[in-house]
Amino acid sequence: MLDISLSVNCLLKKDPTLKDLFYGPQIENLQPESNFFQSIIRSIVYQQLSGKAAKKIHERFINIFKLGKYPDPKDVLNISKEKLKSVGLSYMKVDYIKNVATYFIENPKVITSLDQKSDQEIIEIVSSIKGVGVWTVQMFLMFTLNRPDVFPVTDLALQKGYSAFYKKKKLVDPKKMLNHSKKWIPYRTTMSLYLWRYLEGPFEW
């Protein structure tokens, strides 16, 4: 389990220059989530969108089912693509969401044992579903399983926060960010959360 306070103290011992990054109220510990289907669908909805826009679309997605709870894979497969698109989803995302629902139904043993696997194993398994990229799985690792060492360098907001904190005029190349992040192992999730907050405020679903 990720302990934000412990990881901040350890990171400061490794790199005292991070003091300004951690200034202000401490970020609270993440809470594990048990609905893996919901987590992955939510991440797909949020792909390449601002948090506010994605949140509205995700809420409309839930509401079209009129279930009073989050839809399960069968619910998603039984609703038309046109209905899903009506909430603001692109045709590609609708297909991706349907793909995830199919995978969950066809591979229940794989899904229920995900939390017992390593980060890399989870990335390989879940990103094998068409439409689920590495970023989506990284969000799952961080916010659902609360894995402590995730650093999603392809995330634009993270790139902006990193570049701003290190006073770079242009966005830093993700490969350079990833190489630099090795000094923060095994607490890169904490670094991600604080770099997001540095420029744009806390990451919110």
Known catalytic residues?
155
Residue 142, helix vs strand vs coil = helix
Please, what is the angle between helix 51-63 and helix 36-46, to 10°?
Answer: 130
CA 21 from centre of chain: 21
- Retrieve residue 137's tokens: 């799985």
- Retrieve residue 162's tokens: 């990193």
Please, what is the angle between helix 156-165 and helix 188-200, to 10°?
Answer: 80
Alpha helices (runs of H) in 21-127, residue ranges in sequence order: 36-46, 51-63, 73-78, 81-85, 91-106, 108-112, 119-126
Q: Measured between alpha carbons, how far is 57 from 85 in angstroms, rounded to an integer?
A: 10
